[in-house]
Amino acid sequence: MSEASAPHNPFPGPQPYRAADRGYFFGREELTRKLSHRLMAHPCTTVFGPSGAGKSSLMQAGVIPLLEEAHGFRVVRVDGWPTGEAPLSWLVRAVYDDLDLGDAPEGKARIEALDEAILLAERRSERPIYMDQLEQVLFPGRDAGEASALIEAVDRLAQKPMQGLQIALSLREDYLGRFRDRARGRRELLDHGFRLGQLSVGEMVRAVCRAAEEGRPRQRWAEEQVRALMLEVRMPGAPASEDAEVQAAFGQIVCRALWGERAAGRGSEAGAVEAEVILHRYLETTVEGLGELSEAARLLLEEHLVDREGHRTLLTEQEARGVLPPGAAAEVLGQLERAAVLRAEEHQGSRYFELGHDCAVIGVAFCLLASVRMAATPSPRRRIRRRVYGTRTAAGRPSCSGATRAWLSRQCSSPTGSEW
- CATH code at position 324: 1.10.10.10
Whether residue 17 lies inside any domain: the answer is no
**Angle ∠(204,207,210) on CA atoms, nearest 5:** 145
- Of 176, 195, 214, the residue at which a domain comes to its end is 195
Q: Are residues 242 and 309 in the same domain?
A: no
Residues 6+ apart with CB under 8 A from 57: 16, 17, 25, 28
Q: Are residues 90 and 131 in the same domain?
A: yes
Q: Are residues 161 and 220 in the same domain?
A: no
> Distance between CA 392 and CA 388 in Å, rounded?
9
Q: Are residues 44 and 190 in the same domain?
A: yes
Whether residue 21 lies inside any domain: the answer is no
Q: Are residues 38 and 180 in the same domain?
A: yes
Question: Is 255:205 a contact under the CB 8 Å cutoff?
Answer: no
Q: Report the pLDDT value the prediction gives residue 376, as an integer from 0 to 100.
A: 40
H or E segment at 169? strand 167-172
Whether residue 12 lies inside any domain: the answer is no
Q: Are residues 47 and 173 in the same domain?
A: yes
Q: Are residues 105 and 213 in the same domain?
A: no
Q: Which domain holds residue 378?
A: 282-413
How is residue 47 annotated by DSSP? E
* pLDDT beneath 70: ranges in the chain: 1-5, 124-127, 162-164, 267-272, 308-310, 340, 345-350, 356-420
Question: Is 92:110 a contact under the CB 8 Å cutoff?
Answer: yes
Q: Point out which residues pair with 77 in neighbouring strands.
A: 130
Q: Residue 18, class by beta-carbon neighbours within 10 Å (0-12 exposed, 13-18 middle, 19+ buried)?
A: middle
Q: Are residues 409 and 299 in the same domain?
A: yes
Residues 6+ apart with CB under 8 A from 195: 48, 49, 173
Q: Are residues 175 and 107 in the same domain?
A: yes
Question: What is the count of structural domains for the chain?
Answer: 3
> Distance between CA 299 and CA 322 in Å, rounded?
13
Question: Is 249:357 a contact under the CB 8 Å cutoff?
Answer: yes
Whether residue 10 lies inside any domain: the answer is no
Whether residue 18 lies inside any domain: the answer is no
Identify which of 33, 29, 56, 40 has the alpha carbon closest to the alpha carbon of residue 192: 40
Long-range CB pairs of 231-236, under 8 A, 24+ apart, other chains included: 231/201, 232/274, 232/275, 232/276, 233/275, 234/201, 235/198
- Of 273, 305, 337, the residue at which a domain comes to its end is 273
Positive or negative, the CA dihedral 382, 387, 390, 395 is positive
Q: What is the CA radius of gyration of the chain?
A: 22
Question: Is 318:350 a contact under the CB 8 Å cutoff?
Answer: yes
Q: Report the pLDDT value the prediction gives residue 378, as an integer from 0 to 100.
A: 42
Whether residue 376 lies inside any domain: the answer is yes
Question: Is 226:252 a contact under the CB 8 Å cutoff?
Answer: no
Question: Is 286:332 a contact under the CB 8 Å cutoff?
Answer: no
Q: Are residues 344 and 387 in the same domain?
A: yes
> Distance between CA 157 and CA 119 in Å, rounded?
11
Identify which of 189, 99, 98, 177 has the alpha carbon closest to the alpha carbon of residue 150: 189
Q: Are residues 261 and 290 in the same domain?
A: no
- Of 163, 195, 227, the residue at which a domain comes to its end is 195
Question: Is 52:250 a contact under the CB 8 Å cutoff?
Answer: yes
Whether residue 230 lies inside any domain: the answer is yes
Residues 6+ apart with CB under 8 A from 410: none
Q: Are residues 206 and 286 in the same domain?
A: no
Question: Is 98:74 a contact under the CB 8 Å cutoff?
Answer: yes
74 phi and psi angles, rounded to 5 deg? -110, 120
**Angle ∠(111,345,101) on CA atoms, nearest 5:** 40
Whether residue 7 lies inside any domain: the answer is no
